[in-house]
Amino acid sequence: MYNGQQPIFILKEGTTRTSGKGAQSNNIAAAKAVADAVRSTLGPKGMDKMLVDSMGDVVITNDGATILKEMEIEHPAAKMIIEIAKTQEQHCFDGTTSAVVIAGELLKRSEELVDQNVHPTVICEGFRLASDKAVELIDSHGAGVDEKMLTEVAKTALTGKSTGAVKEFLSDISVKAVLSVAQEGDDRAIVDLDDIKVQKKQGGSIRDSTLVDGIILDKERVHSGMPRSVANAKIALVNSAIEVKKTEVDAKIQITDPNMLSQFLDEEEQFLRSLVDKIVESGANTVICQKGIDDLAQHCMAKSGIFAIRRAKKSDMEALSKATGGRIVNNLDDLSEGDLGSASKVEERKIGDSDMVFVEGCPQAKSVSVLLRGGTEHVVDEVKRAFEDAIGVVAVAHEDGAVLTGGGSVIAALSRDLRLFAESTGGREQMAIEAFSSALEVIPRTLAENAGLDPVNTIIDLRKAHSEGKSTHGVNVYKGGVVDMAKAKVFEPSRVVEQAIQSASETAVMILRIDDVISSKGAGPMPEDFDAMDM
């Protein structure tokens, strides 16, 4: 209101606005609440979360991305933190919790600087300098990769999850699966994880999980008279119905004579028999059909000893083509011996309470399958999440050809290097770089807290070891103190650490630059409601 004039309203009724430090502190509080929600899941001694949705479905996991995805969060700043976990999951498959925890700690440290009257843009510039320097320094800590190293990377990813007890078993499967589908590019290996088909089936134990050099189909043969198993399978992949075609437009057939009806039915039967004859002539003894198969055609195939599956998914057909070397045929008239794929065995097996078809022994398999087992539905779901993380990090490490030691060792080394870098920078940005350096130590500190160790003593021991040049030393969560992570064989892909630092710092900078939150009516809970966010 100016000079007694009426106030001017530029926002519609019900809009709430928070400005200045109030907006910043509310956004930072929401981000810290999200980070604290997943912090206890970090590391080998991390705990799990049970998430129950509005429908009563239960998810039990310690995967950061899954936890944040299942939580129905409304606050806009909190959603930005969740985006970090999504990005980390998409690009690196692991390190989601680390990335979120680092972002939360960066915002906590920046709030302390804001309280000391350091301008947010100065803090943002310091964070950018620190992030760029950290990414630049990561390469100096990297180590080369071979098959043995890939196994250790997979074991590290599986440690701390419910699959930790069988990590050697699952890590072997994950490495074999990735190396089976890896292709050599111009300057590095290329792994398409879509070529690794992961099926889950409850029942049995995790050790009953198997890797198949071929494809597992959640289908059964279409006719009980067909053989249950076919050796030296010649596989026809058909993308057309083995049925009598219906006309494109509405049509009527008028039959005036009983003989004509008989001829009509005979003609249909003859047409279906001719389709089966074409399959037999091609030399195929197995048919995987993407569409339907008529009952009469099923009977004829069974008499000819052909194993057949109908209504296979398109993705399964493409995977079968890669695994068996067969070509997907759209018209049976075009089917020839050269189009057939090959496998040493196609067999229907009883898995749990349902039948599944195993196409295995493919000589040039560029697509493989893994069948994961577990005692209950919740167990097998978590096994699948853990296994997908494992094949993801193995693929990333194989593609990049570089790994780092884990256990907070590289993070601690980067923290030390950034402190030295801050001293050479000068200006107010130096305070922000030092804050960034201190924020990175949240990872080893949290590892120690989750293991029931004294975090202060652990950080002191870690700093002392790194000051003596022991740059591969990290937190020993089993016995306390610090230990050489290279000797303990704890490794993770360099991309995991690099992406976590970059995305955490970029999101922290974006949140810090916000000084005004304008929320329309009905936009969900207001930022101030999140100071007491109950996680």
**Could you please report the per-residue DSSP string of 402-471?**
-EEETTTHHHHHHHHHHHHHHHHH-STHHHHHHHHHHHHTHHHHHHHHHTT--HHHHHHHHHHHHHTT-T
Per residue in 44-61, pLDDT (tens digit) is 888 888 988 888 888 888
- The pLDDT, as a whole number, for residue 127 is 93
Task: Classify domain 144-212+366-401 at the CATH class level.
Answer: alpha beta
- Catalytic (active-site) positions: 63, 96-97, 389
Decide if 286 contacts 306 (C-beta within 8 A): yes
Task: Classify domain 16-143+405-530 at the CATH class level.
Answer: mainly alpha
- The pLDDT, as a whole number, for residue 19 is 64
Tell the residue number behind the tokens 């899954």, with chain if given.
66
Count the alpha carbons within 13 Å of 457 in the hemisphere toward its beta carbon: 9
Rounded CA-CA distance 322/243 in Å is 27
- The pLDDT, as a whole number, for residue 524 is 47
Q: Which CATH architecture has domain 215-364?
A: 3-Layer(bba) Sandwich (3.50)
Per residue in 420-460, pLDDT (tens digit) is 999 888 788 899 999 999 999 999 999 999 999 999 999 99
Which of residues 246 and 302 earns the better pLDDT score? Answer: 302
Residue type for position 338: G
Rounded mean pLDDT of the chain? 85
pTM equals 0.81
Answer yes or no: is pLDDT of 288 > 80. Answer: yes
Rounded CA-CA distance 183/447 in Å is 36
Per residue in 192-236, pLDDT (tens digit) is 888 888 988 888 888 888 888 888 888 899 988 899 999 999 999
Answer yes or no: is pLDDT of 312 > 50. Answer: yes
Answer yes or no: is pLDDT of 522 > 60. Answer: no
> Which uninterrupted H or E stretch holds 290?
none
Answer yes or no: is pLDDT of 526 > 60. Answer: no
- The pLDDT, as a whole number, for residue 532 is 41
Domain ranges of the chain: 16-143+405-530, 144-212+366-401, 215-364
Tell me the mean pLDDT in the region 120-128: 92
Residue 527, SS3 per DSSP: helix
Which has the minimum average pLDDT: 2-11, 111-120, 263-272? 2-11
Residue type for position 217: L
